[in-house]
Amino acid sequence: MSYASQLLDSYPRTFNVDAGILAAAIDALTDCAQACTADADDDLSEHNVAELVKCIRLCLDCADICATTAGVASRQTDYDANVTRPLLEACIASCKSCGNECQRHAMVHAHCQVCEQACRRCEQACKQLIDAIT
């Protein structure tokens, strides 16, 4: 069981969202942030770095947005749907753009294939969370 699950289990108040869906989203977000950071660096080390500039840029955006969304989703105290909902929408858009660009390079670069998987999983997990929150 991830720390995210354990910390939701020991949260002192109640919260209005399924803990399993929330923990899955937090884990997918932190994993995706790391994958995007690493993939941008992998791209920088490739011989064809000039062809990977868009991939690097989108990975840097996606890493930042996923990390921030993980932080906001981890905070349940005085939860504010007005903030969480549009942020999840931005994160879904970022994972989609980054995943699509990684997919273009996935046949040539195995690291882009791994990053695409992280982005797709995170996009799905955020969609499930946005459907679950009130």
**Residue that the structure tokens 């994160």 belong to:** 91
Q: Based on CB atoms, which residue is closest to its own copies, 34 or 128?
A: 34
Least spacing, CB of residue 21 vs its own copies, in Å: 16
Distance CA 95, CA 58 (A): 9
Sequence length of the chain is 134
Q: Does residue 123 bind its own copies (CB under 8 A)? A: no
- Residue 14 φ/ψ region, left for φ over 0, alpha for ψ in the -120 to 50 degree band, beta for the rest: beta
Q: Which of 19, 76, 127, 132 binds its own copies (CB under 8 A)?
A: 76
Interaction between residue 58 and its own copies (CB under 8 A): yes
Interatomic CA distance for residues 28 and 36, integer angstroms: 12
Q: Which of 17, 19, 21, 38 forms a contact with its own copies (CB under 8 A)?
A: 38
How many angstroms separate the CA atoms of 130 and 17, rounded? 10
Examine residue 54 and tell whether it contacts its own copies (CB under 8 A).
yes
Checking phi first, is residue 114 left (phi over 0); if not, alpha (psi -120 to 50) or beta?
alpha
- Smallest gap from Cβ 129 to its own copies, in A, equals 14
Q: Does 106 bind its own copies (CB under 8 A)?
A: no
Residue 88 · residue 72 · CB < 8 Å: no
Q: Which residues bind its own copies (CB under 8 A)?
A: 2-4, 6-13, 26, 30-31, 33-35, 37-42, 44-47, 49-50, 53-54, 56-58, 60-61, 63-65, 67-68, 70-72, 74-78, 80, 82-83, 86-87, 89-90, 93-94, 96-97, 109-111, 113-115, 117-118
